[in-house]
Amino acid sequence: MPNLHDYLDAAARRYNTPDFIADDPIGVPHGFDRLQDREIIGFWAAMLAWGQRKTIIQSALRLVDLMDGAPYAFITGHEERDRERFLHFKHRTFQATDTLYFLEFFQNYYRRHDSLEHAFARHLGPDDTTVENALIGFHRDFFDHPEAPERTRKHVATPERGSTCKRINMFLRWMVRRDAAGVDFGDWQRIRPAQLLIPLDVHVERVARRLGLLQRPQTDWKAVLELTENLRAFDPADPVRYDFALFGLGKLAGSENYG
């Protein structure tokens, strides 16, 4: 194998292209120009991102339709009776109870704040080198409601439970990373790309272990920190750009599923 750094750089360039968008859930928020539309449907699409990518995209587009093609306008303007149309929406184990709570959270949040970035960035201190505290704080805030369903907690991960937080790390990659490739949005400014952590799914894990980038036997939060730290040695300012390399290489050898 060639030099590992060069190998990963080449793979990242290969997959971090506009061609990546069409068959990936990130393609759904790419259908919108408004920041808040991207945030709402991007977050929701990311939280649904397990299983076949085609099915994930179909489910996210179904949500767009249910929100009349305008997520932010619907979220901020809808009334209680408008939620009835969501009662039959489901994606694998994501059921109506979860859907209704997401609507409740978004409406309460966007009636008080302009961007979802604040929900994450407000938990970061000047000495935080990763987004760990942002994820912990966001999870606590997301479920800080007297009627928050216990079952919905499994759909929004937190490092406090040792989860890899793959889907939420992926959403942060979408919103924070910025480069000329045009895949990730780079809409948020208060979180630095250097603070992002790798979205660790089955494809990324398999390739990372094969390349010796991940030694920890458990697939958990500490594994995410270990892998990201090893990738940071190649690019301290933007370690998560190698998500394209590891995921792309893993997908070639695996399936079209998200882990």
Q: Where are the alpha helices (DSSP H) in the chain?
A: 4-15, 35-47, 53-66, 71-77, 96-110, 117-121, 132-142, 166-176, 202-210, 221-232, 242-253
Secondary structure (3-state) at 258: strand
Report the DSSP pairing between strands 257-258 and 51-52: antiparallel
Residue 181: how many other CB atoms lie within 10 Å: 17
Measure CA 2 to chain center.
31
Give residue 51's pLDDT.
86
Residue whose token pair is 């194998």: 1
Q: Taking a C-beta distance cutoff of 8 angstroms, is the pair 155, 147 a contact? A: no
Residue 212: how many other CB atoms lie within 10 Å: 9
Q: Is the pLDDT of residue 6 over 90?
A: yes
Give residue 243's pLDDT.
97
| Mean pLDDT within 223-230 | 98
Secondary structure (3-state) at 119: helix
Give residue 254's pLDDT.
54
| Mean pLDDT within 128-146 | 97
Residue 179 pLDDT class (50, 70, 90 cuts): very high
Alpha-carbon span 140 to 169, nearest angstrom = 16
Q: What is the pLDDT of residues 142-161, one digit of tens each?
A: 999 988 999 999 999 999 99
Give residue 1's pLDDT.
46
What's the predicted TM-score (pTM) here? 0.95
DSSP of 175-224: HH---TT-SS-----SS-GGG------HHHHHHHHHTTS---SS-SHHHH
Q: Is 65 buried (19+), middle (13-18) or exposed (0-12) by CB count in 10 A?
A: exposed
Average pLDDT of the chain? 95
Where b means 16+ CB within 10 Å and e means fewer, 79-97 reads: eeeebeebeebebeebbee
Task: Give the start-to-end residue ranges of the domains of the chain.
Answer: 4-258
Q: What is the pLDDT of residues 32-64, one digit of tens each?
A: 999 999 999 999 999 999 888 999 999 999 999
| Mean pLDDT within 104-129 | 97
Tokens of 205: 């894990």
The half-sphere exposure of 148 on its side-chain side, counting CA atoms within 13 A, is 17
In sequence order, the 6+-apart residues with CB closer than 8 A to the CB of 143 are: 152, 153, 156
The CA angle 192-130-17, to the nearest 5 degrees, is 50
| Mean pLDDT within 136-142 | 98
